[in-house]
Structure 1
Amino acid sequence: MKKIIYISILFYSILSFGQVIVVSGNVTDAKTGEPLAGAKVLINKTQNGITTDFDGKYSLKTTLNDTLVFSHVGMIMQKVKVDKTEINIELEEEEEIEVVFGPAYYPKPKRLEATTTVSKKDIENAENPKYNFKKNAKNNVFLIFVSELTSYDLNKVDLEFEQKYNVKYSLIGSYKNDYLKKYNKLTFKYLKKKYKKTWLTEIRKDAVGLKKE
């Protein structure tokens, strides 16, 4: 009888180990409690997985005792062994570090807020310059996209201009030219209204759309 019980337990364990289940849950920001859209949920050592929806939710078919890897830009990765059908995860922000170059140091740039909590409205308006300008303006952030800027191009005059007029020069990145012109036009309008015409003689000449201003 004992032998039969032992074999039954062993057989059940083998079946359980490879049992296919659906795991679901929420991924949130540990600091704010906000849902994290676009977080990756992968089965460990594979590329099989899914990303969370706008509400930070996910649902993934896997097997018991697999390990799930949860990650998001700017967050510390977490690994969790699958032992139940609902797994909720809170991801914490990575600590910012200082990178030292010779006698001087340069702090690591802060990641954009958009890389933490992205709303459905933000994604829908990703290519809408007016929407993005207004959102940045609410946080007192004003950008000027320039065509020739690299990370080493800002000189003393540029930095003084940024400080004087409360703006930041920005790389054009992967934005389309039409987007850049429309966004800069809104920034130019802000500068004209607040500082009249003095900024025109001090701005970088490679600011996108400047000639039409």
Structure 2
Amino acid sequence: MKQLLLLSFFLFSIISFGQQITVNGKVTDGKTGEPLPGAEVRIYKTNKGCNTDIDGNYVLEVSLNDTLVFSFTGMKSQKIKVDKQEIQVKLFEIDPIHESFDPAYYIRRIKKLEATTMVTKEDIENANNPKYKFKKNAKNNVFVIFVSELTSNDLNDEDLKFEQKYNVKYSSIGNYKNDYLKKYNKLTFKHLKKKFKKSWLSEIRKDAVGLKKE
């Protein structure tokens, strides 16, 4: 009897593992609770997946015990094993490289074994230098455009497509001074003009700080 029970449990596990189910849910901003339209929902190690709709909702056919990867531009990706039909996901923003100088941010990312690793003197001296920050970001293939009064609700489908097409990221002005924002944006605009000629000008947001209208 014991062997029969073990065999039954084993067979049930095999059947459950390959069982096809429909998973649905909503992907939201973990900080604001707002939906994330266009977020990617993909089965781990495959090309099968979908994107969330305008309300952040998704529906996907998967196998029970598959692992789903949820991702969105500027957000930290999240992996979740499928064990139920409804999976709600909250994604949180990655610490942006272009944010105000934060020693803890740099310490977490410097790949050294010593727990006492400190930031460089150059980082500290150039904490509010837009040119230094731009070059540092560019080395990591990060290009930022600061726009006024930006919230996640302000970004429509056209804006999201612009970010993807030209590999840029819109950012709110935060606590930066207007002079800093103008200088930083001009460096980004110079990069766009050099790489994409004038094709980007007709698609840029009108409220980009310091943009010279052409």
TM-score by length of 1: 0.56
Give the AA of the match of 2:78.
Answer: Q
Mapping of residues 95-174 of structure 1, within 5 Å: 95-97=95-97, 103=122, 105=126, 106-107=132-133, 108=137, 117=152, 122-123=156-157, 162=182, 169=186, 170=189, 171-172=192-193
Give the AA of the match of 2:2.
Answer: K
Q: Residue 32 and residue 63 in structure 1: after superposition, are their counterparts in 2 closer, same or farther (change >3 A)?
A: same
In 2, distance between residues paired with 1:10 and 1:183? 58
Q: Which runs of 5+ in 1 are unaligned?
A: 128-138, 141-158, 188-202
Q: Is the 8 A contact 1:65 1:82 kept in 2?
A: yes
Give the AA of the match of 2:30.
Answer: A
Deviations 1:162-195 (A, max 9, x none): 58xxxx6434575648837x988x99xxxxxxxx
Partner of 2:8: 8
Q: Is the 8 A contact 1:37 1:118 kept in 2?
A: no
Give the AA of the match of 1:90.
Answer: K
Counterpart check, 1:80 vs 2:80: yes
RMSD: 4.3
In 1, distance between residues paired with 2:82 and 2:20? 11
Deviation at 1:4, TM superposition (A): 2.3
User: Aligned to 1:33, what secondary structure does the other structure show?
Assistant: coil
Deviation at 1:6, TM superposition (A): 2.1
Q: Is the 8 A contact 2:49 2:60 kept in 1?
A: yes
In 2, distance between residues paired with 1:14 and 1:23? 20
Deviations 1:57-94 (A, max 9, x none): 11111111111111111101111111001111100011
User: Aligned to 1:28, what secondary structure does the other structure show?
Assistant: strand
Mapping of residues 36-75 of structure 1, within 5 Å: 36-75=36-75
Q: Which runs of 5+ in 2 are unaligned?
A: 107-118, 127-131, 138-142, 162-171, 174-178
Q: Is the 8 A contact 1:21 1:85 kept in 2?
A: yes
Identity of aligned residues (%): 39
In 2, distance between residues paired with 1:49 and 1:124? 22
- Between the two proteins, the alignment pairs up a number of residues equal to 156
Q: Is the 8 A contact 1:42 1:69 kept in 2?
A: yes
User: Aligned to 1:9, what secondary structure does the other structure show?
Assistant: helix
Partner of 1:151: none
Q: Residue 7 and residue 29 in structure 1: after superposition, are their counterparts in 2 closer, same or farther (change >3 A)?
A: same
In 2, distance between residues paired with 1:62 and 1:86? 12
Q: Residue 178 and residue 68 in structure 1: after superposition, are their counterparts in 2 closer, same or farther (change >3 A)?
A: closer
Give the AA of the match of 2:202.
Answer: Y
In 2, distance between residues paired with 1:73 and 1:50? 15
Deviations 1:5-52 (A, max 9, x none): 222111111100111111110000011100001111111111111111
In 2, distance between residues paired with 1:126 and 1:71? 14
Q: Is the 8 A contact 1:67 1:81 kept in 2?
A: yes
Q: Residue 110 and residue 125 in structure 1: after superposition, are their counterparts in 2 closer, same or farther (change >3 A)?
A: closer
